[in-house]
Each structure stands twice: as structure tokens, then as C-alpha cells.
Amino acid sequence: MSRIKLFFVSLLLLQVVCTATRAQSAADRIDYKPTPYMFVGLQGGVQTTFADISPFKLITPTASVSFGAFFVPSVGARIHVNGLWNKGGFETDNDNDFKYNFKYVTSDLDLLLNLCTLFGHEDYYPLNVYLIGGVGLTYAWDNDDLVKSNHSTPFAWEDNLLSHNFRLGAMLDYNISKHWSVNLEVSANNLRDKFNSYYHAKDDWQLTAQLGLAYKFGFGKRVHTAPVVVAPIEEYVGDNSAESAAALLVVPDTEKKEVAPPVKTVETMQKDIFFMIASSEIRKSEAAKIREVISWLESHPTAVATITGHADAGTGNPVLNARYALNRAEAVAKAITDAGIDASRLTVESKGDKVMPYGDNEKSRVAIVLATEK
């Protein structure tokens, strides 16, 4: 399989992983925006440098610390510092392997691309796949094992060595809560030819594999497009209309009883705005219902309305369904306020998939408008 085919197959597999991870997370999707946020991370694992003997013979521990941010769901950046132990080696004249230790530290500015949000349909997934590309510098020192040995090469550097570092890698990052995630990162680092004290007429390569823990902070709060107004609906006293008069209690003249004031039944109207699966877009077939709501509110200037969003429990998961339900209610509220209705007359609610008003999955993808006249 060619490298190009392998690359596209890898992207397809990553997309399958992203799509398959629409499971409920410990993070509360409704209480905060998934981006922007900042993070600090610690990692530990192993590294090896490719030389003239098997890279498995040159494995040493390594550790990293990073600080960065995700600016939008698909794009982030970090400062990443990695080190400390390294090992080189080559075969000697008597066919024995000679290995030597030295130390290094690498600092990179990395670009992070979240492939799940880049190619997916959501701005939040519990499991994410990051593509990492970076550039920086590597500083190496303490090469005495080689320099003072009988096997020193003409290219063995003394005191210290400064090299470029170009990085390409990938990371799996799983959110265990709103603020914490665990990750697995594998990256390849390109260094100058002299890094392992041996000449190959081409750049050296170093491979790292690390497990890590990241703390994420600085999330913003979700802002609703329509203000949430909680106001109890009072009882309303009607006028002396025919309907009110019919409700009066007739009392014989001989009895002295207090007559209850005429009460008018509160006038209400309800419209159910249905949506497609995994969507909060108002369909043309439902737009007429919203126009009826607007017309009714215009003819009842003191009326208020509650818009309650719902989702079906048969698809998705509670986190995504809560979001769909809220977005549906907000979409209806925006259509009403865009027509000139004061937003203070509207209350927006979300029941997620916890309440299925009609039992049926299809009919539960709905925003219910209940308007009440004051």
C-alpha cells in the first residue's frame, strides 16, 4: 500500500473512532462552551533514536511538560518541552554493539488539529484525535560516554550540541471530566545528522511514545440567545363580558352572601415545532406554525410564552440530546424575536431526552411553544 493510500486510510479510521465516541462524558455540555480553553499537561514514556543498531536497544525513559490552548474546536497550539535521557550506539569492529548515554532537552511550538471536530459534525467529542506538527530546538549535552571511550567517532560532539527539531505526531485524548483528560501521544522528531554522533548524510530521527494527563481550564459559559425569564403566571380577573356573567353565582335575595368577582379563563395557545433527527434547523413545513405564534403574541400584547426543547432518547446520548433540545428551543425563540416580539416575553427551557412528551421518538424531536395571556 502506498504512503498516500495509507494516509487516507488512517484518516478514515480516525473518523470512525471519532464518530464511535458519541458517548456520555462526565463533562456537562450545557454548562460551558467546549472552546476556547487553556491546558497544562504532564507526560511520561519512552523514546529511541534511530542509529546503526536496532532502535529497541536504545530505548530510554522520557518526560514532557506542556502549556497551550484550543482557540476553536479544531485548532490549538502548545509549548512543549521534552527530555531528558538519550542513548546512541553502533556496531564495533568485533561485531559487538557499543552504546553510549547522553542527555537532551527539546522545546517545540506545536500546532494541534482536532481531526474529530475538523471532519465531524459536532464541536465536542469525549474522545479526540489530534494531529501534531511543530518546530523547535534541541539541546544535547553530557556526551562523555562516547567522547572518552575507545570507540569515539570523528563526528562525536563534545560539551554540547544545538539542533533543529521538526515534529510530526498524533495524540488520542479522552475527556474524563470537564477539566481532566488522559492522552497517548506518539511523535517523530527530525534532528540534524550529528545528533547521534554518527554521520549518515541525512537527518537523524527520534521516536517518542508517552502517556499523559492534562488539566483544562478557562472555559466560557454558554450564552443563550433568548434570556431565561422565570415569572409566575398570575390569576387574571376578567371584565363583565357575557362569559364572565354566566359564571356568576346567583344567590336568592333573602340570603346575604358575598358574590365572587367574575373570573375570566386564561386564554392560551400551543404550537409544536417538529425537527429532523440531530438538527435544530427550522423546516419550511414548520415555519407556518411559528408565524401563527408571532401573530397570536402580536394580538395579545401582554401575553408571555414558554418554549421547551425536547429530544428523543432513542438516538444519540444524553449530553448531545440536551444540546439539541436547547438549540431547538433557542432557534424558535430567535425566529420569534427576529419578528419583533420582545425577548423578555419569552422563557427558554430544555428537557433534553429526559422528558419525551409524546413517547414516540420522531414526535419527541420538538420545541413546544405554550403562550399564555396575562
pLDDT of residue 25: 39
pLDDT of residue 372: 92
Distance, CA of 82 to CA of 206 (rounded, Å): 12
The ranges of the chain with pLDDT < 50 are: 20-30, 224-238, 241-242, 244-251
DSSP letter for each residue of 351-373: -TTT--TTSSTGGGSEEEEEEE-
Cell numbers given for 316? 444519540
- Between vectors from CA 27 to CA 71 and to CA 40, what angle results, nearest 5°? 45
- Between vectors from CA 51 to CA 49 and to CA 54, what angle results, nearest 5°? 90
pLDDT of residue 226: 46
Residue-range domain boundaries for the chain? 3-217, 242-372
Distance, CA of 27 to CA of 179 (rounded, Å): 8
pLDDT of residue 90: 83
CATH 3.30.1330.60 is held by the domain 242-372: yes
How are strands ordered across the β-sheet holding 346-350? 268-274, 366-372, 304-309, 346-350
pLDDT of residue 251: 47
Distance, CA of 123 to CA of 35 (rounded, Å): 8
> To which residue does cell 542509529 refer?
51
What does the H/E/C string look like for 35-49?
CCEEEEEEEEEEEEE
pLDDT of residue 24: 39
pLDDT of residue 225: 47
- Between vectors from CA 8 to CA 5 and to CA 9, what angle results, nearest 5°? 80
- Nearest C-alpha neighbor of 31 from the set 364, 326, 365: 326
pLDDT of residue 10: 60
**CATH label, 3-217, candidates 3.30.1050.10, 1.10.357.10, 3.40.50.880, 2.40.160.20:** 2.40.160.20
Q: Which residue type occupies 26?
A: A
